[in-house]
Structure 1
C-alpha cells in the first residue's frame, strides 16, 4: 500500500492503463474514420468526374476493345505520336506540340490501352503486344506510311516498331526517349503499394495536396481540369501496373535491336539528365551508324514538349528538309 495515498499501487496502474487504452481507442477510431472518409470521397469524386470528362478524338477497334486516337492537321505527311509511360492523357499532354506541327503535318496521337480515353486490357504489356496493338489501330485507319515520334518509353516500343514494320516508318523522332542500355531499369517497383494508393483514394489525396504539375505549362484552365480528372481516373490502373511489371523485361528484349541504318533518326533530349548516367552518349551511340542521325539537347525537364515544342518542331522540320536534300 502507498503510505501517502493509502491506495494500492496496482489500482493506480490499472487506472493509468485504462486511460491509455481509451486514448489509443480514440486514435484508432480517428484513423479508421479518416481512411474511410478518404475512400468514400475518392469513390464519390471518381463517379462525379466520369460525367465531366469530355470526349476527344475517335475510337478504333483493336483486339475487340476501343482504342482512342486523335487526328489533327491536313498535311501530306503523317506523324504518329506515342506517349511516355504513365502519361495519363496523351492527346492533351501533346497539345503544345500538336499545335506547332499540325499546320504542316497530319498528326495522329495514339492512346494505348490504359491511357487517355482508351479501354484497359488484361493482356500482358509486353513490347510485342503493345506494338502490335498500335499497328492494328493504324491499319484500321489506313495509315501505312508515317514518321514515328514519341516520348520516353517510345524509345523502346518505337525501336521494336521500326524493326517489325520497316516499310511503314519513314523517320523516327525521340523526345527524351528511353535507351535499352540505360541503367536503373532493374529496380523493383512497389506495385502493391501503387495499387493500394489507387484503391484507397490516397493517390487522389496526394495529388490534391501536392504541387500542381501543370503550373506554368502552356495549357488553358479547361485542359488542365480535364488532364487532372483523367490522371485520377487512369492512375495506377491494372493495365499500367502490368506495363510497369514488364518494364525491365521490355528493356532487356530491346537490347538486341538497333535502328535501321537508312532510317532518318533525330533525338531531342535533356541537356542535363542527372537521373541516368551517360544520357547524351547513350543517344549518340544509337545514331552512330545512321546515314541521317542527329542528337539535339535542350535545357528542360523530361517532358521537353511541354516547354520546347516550338524548338522541337522547327528543328525537326529543318532536319527533314535536309534529309530530302541529301537524297
Structure 2
C-alpha cells in the first residue's frame, strides 16, 4: 500500500510545484511588464490588496484602484488612527472640564464686566453668571494656566507611551496609500504626519514643519478654487430647494490670508413677482496638508442680502474638505445642518 501511494504523492507534489512555479512566473511578468505592485495570491491577481474582478485585466485593476483613490477619505483614516490611539484619558478630560469651567475671560475683564452690568436691570441674569464664575475662581485650588500646563504634560506623556503604536499604524496606512497611488515618494509623508502630531518637537523641528505647512497652505489655496466653486454651487442648489427659486447672476472667488471665499450673486423672486438680490457663498481655510489629501476645509456657508455682512450662516468647520462635495455621506452632513437652520 505504501509503495502504491508513494508515486501518487510524488506526482501530486510535482504538480503543486509546477503550479507554484507557474504563478511565480506570471507574477514576475506582471511586475515587470504591468506594475511592480501586482502579486498572485491563492491563484488571484491582486494590486495592493485589491482583487481583480471577473473579465478585468491587470492593467484595468491598477487603473481602477488609482482612479478610486479618495484623498479626503485617506486623510480621515489618518485622523481616525490618531484619535483612536491618542484619545484623552479620563484624567485629561477631567482637567479639560475644569479649564472650560474657568471660562475664557481674564480676571481683570471679569471684574470690569461685573462693574459694567451691576446696575443694568436688563443684564441681571448675565451678571449672576459672572459673579458665580468669579466665586468659582476664588474658591478653586488651581488657576487656568496651571491646569493647561498639567494637561499638556499628561498629553506629552501619553504621546510618548503610544508613540510606537502610532508610528506603526500611521506608517502602515501611508504605505498602503503609496502602493495604491504607485508613488514611493509618498512614503515620506509618514514622517511629516508624525512630526505634526508630536508635541515634543524641538524648536528647529517645529520651524522645519512650519515651513512645510506654509508651502502647502499656499498650494492649498490655489488648489481649492475649483472644488470650492463646485461646493458652493451645490450649496446654492440646496438652498434653492429649501428656501426659494433663485437664479445665479455672478460668481466671485477671493483669497485672503489663509482663507478662500466663493460668493454667488443671486436674485430671488417671491410669490408676488418681486425680485431681491442675495449672496450665497462658502468660506474655506487652507489646512496645510499634502495636496494628495486635499486643499482646504469648509468653515461656513452663508445666505444673506446683497451688500450685507450678516445673514444666515451654517458653520461646517472640521466637517469636510472642499473636495468632498461629491461624497454622499459627507454631503448628507451638510444637508442636515442646512435643514436644521431653515426648518
Please report the TM-score for the alignment, with normalisation by the length of structure 2: 0.24
Higher helix share: 2
* Higher relative contact order structure (alpha carbons within 8 Å, sequence separation ≥ 6): 1
Which of the two has higher C-alpha Rg? 2
TM-score, length-scaled by structure 1? 0.24
